[in-house]
Amino acid sequence: QSVSAPCCANCNCQLTDMSASCFRRDSKLITAISVAFFALLGCAIRVSIELWLHHLDFGVTTSHPGPFILKDSHKCYKRSSAAGYFFQNVLGCILMAAVARHKKAMNQHLATGLSSGLCGALTTWATWMGEVAHTITNGYAFQAFVSVLCMLCVSLASYRFGHFLAGCGMEDEPKCFDEYCGLR
């Protein structure tokens, strides 16, 4: 038995059509809410990791002034540690690979929220490039180049590792590098 009342005030679809028509109409809003929610979560995780690791010195780049300021260095000399981006980028790449691996099995809004929201806010390009700029302004261009090269390699390796973890153990015979993510 069909009911002829509109399902909502914003459209003319009938109650029987509500699950298809109204959902498609509000799809962009649901996606935006999903991305915003997961972006807040990703930002909180990124800042928490930075606060947890801020005292460690990895020898790459950071914004905390070091105890050893060289006489002939630039007045904006900053010591490096990478606590603000290194582990966040590694974790974000691993999670992004897992989401990409299982994207077909996920709800579209969840997959978009996790990949663009959570992983996008967890990984940080701005902090990384800011620290590279500090390294260059202090006269260490080669160290900055090596830092960029190493971080790119670590990020790609983390993505491959995340893809491997997300694919293994899911079937009788794990297919860790298959056509789902293009990592053949």
Q: What is the pLDDT along the chain (184 residues), one digit of tens a residue?
A: 444 555 555 555 554 544 555 556 678 899 999 999 999 999 999 999 888 887 776 655 544 444 545 555 555 555 556 777 888 999 999 999 999 888 888 888 999 999 999 999 999 888 888 888 888 888 888 888 988 999 999 999 999 999 888 877 555 444 555 555 545 4
pLDDT of residue 24: 61
pLDDT of residue 173: 43
Whether pTM exceeds 0.85: no
pLDDT of residue 44: 94
Given a contact cutoff of 8 angstroms between Cβ atoms, the answer to whether 119 and 92 are in contact is yes
DSSP state of 105: G
DSSP string covering 1-68, please? ----SBSSTT---BGGGHHHHHHHHTHHHHHHHHHHHHHHHHHHHHHHHHHHHTT---SS--SSPPS-
pLDDT of residue 126: 84
Cα(116)–Cα(161) distance, integer angstroms? 19
First-last CA distance in the chain: 52
As given in the structure block, the two tokens for residue 15 are 């109650």
pLDDT of residue 79: 56
Q: How far is CA 60 from CA 67, 68, 82, 179, in A?
A: 16, 15, 5, 35
Cα(86)–Cα(151) distance, integer angstroms? 8
Residue 84: enclosing H or E segment and its boundaries? none
As given in the structure block, the two tokens for residue 39 are 């972006």
